[in-house]
């Protein structure tokens, strides 16, 4: 029997191709819908995904993995993967488990915060926990990451970017 839970469970085995975090913990799976398939014997699964960055090159890989994984589920006959930007993805959508697996990998995530709070927290070094860190470059190996340097253990590490969602006045 195909259900939201079993689909989400399957999606938890789909990883971001560039970081050890699954797409559910990354918070990019915004909705899963189960609908009757064209032929009555199976189900159509619709997965709505929020890209972290516009045109992120990982998206085709993710879509492909999602299709492969869900296609292997008994009872699934059709799969629709949609990408949309509303609501926008933010780093606050990353689950606590996801944050932990990124930290172990050496990538820190900005602290969760309310929309209006200014960004004041500097990250703690994922290797030694020190707060003696400085921003080395606002750009990094991928468009969603920047580079910090830890002055205590002298390691560079990566920090996910918080892209402020613009507040539009009317």
Partner 1 sequence: MHELNDVARKALIQLLLAVADDKLMLGHRNADWTGLAPILEEDIAFSSLAQDELAHASALYQFVADLTHSQADRLAFGRKPGEYRCAQIVELSDDFNWATALCRSFFCDHFEALRLERLARSSYTPIAQLAARLLAEEQVHVQHVDSWMHRLGRGDDDANHRMQEALDGLAPLAPMLFEPTESQELLEREMIYPQSEPAMFDRWSQNLLEVARDAGLTLSLQRPTAKIIGGRRGVHGPAFPAALDEMTEVYRVEPEAAW
Contact footprint for partner 1 (CB under 8 A): 53-57, 84-86, 88, 136-141, 143, 147, 161, 163-166, 168, 170
DSSP SS3 for 24: coil
Q: Residues near 143 by Cβ (< 8 Å), separated by ≥ 6? A: 53, 56, 161
CB of 150 to partner 1, least distance (A): 17
Q: Please report how close the Cβ of residue 6 comes to partner 1 at its closest, in angstroms.
A: 30
Cβ-based nearer residue to partner 1, 17 or 88: 88
Extract the tokens encoding 33. 């819908």
Q: Which is nearer to partner 1, 10 or 16 (CB)?
A: 16
Roughly what angle, to the nearest 10 degrees, separates helices 4-11 and 59-71? 130
Give 44 or 162: the residue with its C-beta nearer to partner 1: 162
Residue 141 CB, shortest distance to partner 1, in Å, is 8
**Is residue 130 a contact partner of residue 137, using CB atoms and an 8 Å limit?**
no
């Amino acid at each position: 029997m195909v259900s939201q839970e079993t689909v989400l469970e399957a999606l938890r085995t789909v990883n971001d191709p560039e970081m050890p975090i699954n797409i559910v913990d990354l918070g990019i799976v915004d909705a899963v819908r189960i609908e009757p398939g064209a032929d009555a014997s199976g189900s159509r699964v619709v997965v709505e995904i929020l890209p972290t960055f516009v045109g992120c090159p990982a998206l085709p890989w993710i879509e492909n993995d999602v299709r492969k994984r869900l296609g292997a589920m008994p009872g699934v006959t059709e799969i629709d993967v949609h990408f949309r930007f509303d609501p926008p993805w933010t780093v606050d959508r990353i689950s606590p488990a996801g944050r932990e697996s990124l930290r172990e990998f050496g990538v820190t995530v900005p602290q969760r915060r309310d929309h209006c709070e200014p960004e004041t927290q500097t990250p703690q070094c994922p290797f030694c926990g020190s707060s003696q860190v400085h921003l080395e470059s606002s750009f990094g190996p991928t468009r969603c990451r920047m580079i910090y340097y830890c002055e205590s253990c002298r390691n560079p590490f990566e920090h996910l970017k918080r892209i402020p969602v613009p507040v539009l006045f009317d």
